[in-house]
């Protein structure tokens, strides 16, 4: 593979296991020559993340729960001590209570709304605040979003509202940080069977629907999201910021069910 990320050092947040989108991005960045650091959320995931980090010769920067500002500070302090600077950061973090990801959006509670919004949207801004200080030679920040931000998708509910806010925050962050040559973008990935996705009601139906109706007539993989991430994180996209880039086999451009789609 072309070494598009030679000499770049980046932090990958949100690896839970080897099906995580963050893992697909990490593998692609490593293949393109980048040096990586990982965080994990709590001891249960530490056991999963450490061997994965070893596979890519990555530095484990520590535990990070984005609801705990001290853990975020500690991770960025560890990165500063190890590397002194940072070239890119990948934010693959989202959360909504499972009960909110089925049924009606209108029933969302205030508590779950705030929690989903904080973890799935504000945390990217909290990461940007800390990463900015280490991106002394410019940089690239990337987050993950979903089509449920743009259109109503079954069961996505409060997460759709949080993703809309996340996409808007990408644009505001791009403006704030652009003068320092720090770029901020998002990938809007098609549905992929991960731990987080398993909480969404009827997820298998959604996968099939996308497979039958996207222009490429299939769903996407974490490896494909990873390769697109390399473009957004490398200098090849140096003229691109504030963008939401769809990696969804083209699903977002389609207006209705494909004529050849089987009934499901
Ligand atoms: P995943 O379960 O592998 O990853 C989700 C990660 O979020 C986990 O590593 C988890 O530890 C982390 N997380 C949750 N709450 C956290 C907190 N309080 N502090 C720190 N970390 C926390 O699932 P994934 O599908 O790879 O999700 C990654 C991102 O991709 C999410 O933003 C998700 O919304 C987005 N996305 C997923 C899909 C899909 O279909 N899987 C599609 C589009 C976008």
Ligand 1, pocket residues at CB < 6 Å: 14-16, 20-22, 41, 45, 64-67, 92-95, 119, 144-146, 189, 191-192, 194-197
**195 labelled binding-site residue:** yes
Give CA–CA dist 189/91, Å, rounded: 13
pLDDT digits (tens, 9 = 90+) for 220-264: 999 999 999 999 999 999 999 999 999 999 999 999 999 999 988
**125 labelled binding-site residue:** no
Residue nearest to atom 38 of ligand 1 (CA): 191
Residue nearest to atom 7 of ligand 1 (CA): 93
Give CA–CA dist 174/241, Å, rounded: 6
Q: Which two tokens stand for residue 39?
A: 């965080």
Instruction: Return the CATH fold of 9-250.
Output: Rossmann fold (3.40.50)
**143 labelled binding-site residue:** no
Task: Please tell me the pTM assigned to this model.
Answer: 0.98
**Which of ligand 1's atoms lies nearest the C-alpha of 191?**
40
Q: Which two tokens stand for residue 234?
A: 């490398």
Under 8 Å between Cβ of 108 and 156: no
Residue nearest to atom 34 of ligand 1 (CA): 94
pLDDT digits (tens, 9 = 90+) for 94-124: 999 999 999 999 999 999 999 999 999 999 9
Predicted ipTM of the assembly: 0.99
Sorted by where each begins, the domain ranges of the chain are 9-250
């Amino acid at each position: 593979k072309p070494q598009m990320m030679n000499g770049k050092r980046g932090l990958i947040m949100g690896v839970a296991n080897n099906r995580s989108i963050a893992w697909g991005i990490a593998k692609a960045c490593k293949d393109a020559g980048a040096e990586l650091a990982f965080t994990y959320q709590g001891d249960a995931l530490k056991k999963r993340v450490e061997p994965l980090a070893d596979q890519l010769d990555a530095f484990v920067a520590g535990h990070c729960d984005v609801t705990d500002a001290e853990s975020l500070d500690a991770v960025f302090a560890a990165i500063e001590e190890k590397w002194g600077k940072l070239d890119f950061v990948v934010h693959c973090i989202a959360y909504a209570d499972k009960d909110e990801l089925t049924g009606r959006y209108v029933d969302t509670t205030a508590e779950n709304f705030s929690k989903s919004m904080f973890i799935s949207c504000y945390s990217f801004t909290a990461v940007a605040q800390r990463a900015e200080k280490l991106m002394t030679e410019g940089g690239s920040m990337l987050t993950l979003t979903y089509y449920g931000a743009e259109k109503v998708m079954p069961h996505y509910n409060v997460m759709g509202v949080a993703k809309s806010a996340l996409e808007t925050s990408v644009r505001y962050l791009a403006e704030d940080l652009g003068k320092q040559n720090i770029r901020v973008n998002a990938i809007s990935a098609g549905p992929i069977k991960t731990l987080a996705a398993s909480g969404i009601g009827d997820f298998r139906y959604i996968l099939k629907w996308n497979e039958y109706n996207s222009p490429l007539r299939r769903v996407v993989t974490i490896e494909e999201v990873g390769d697109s991430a390399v473009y957004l994180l490398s200098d090849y996209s140096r003229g691109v910021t504030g963008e939401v880039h769809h990696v969804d086999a083209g699903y977002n451009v389609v207006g209705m069910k494909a004529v050849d789609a089987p009934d499901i």
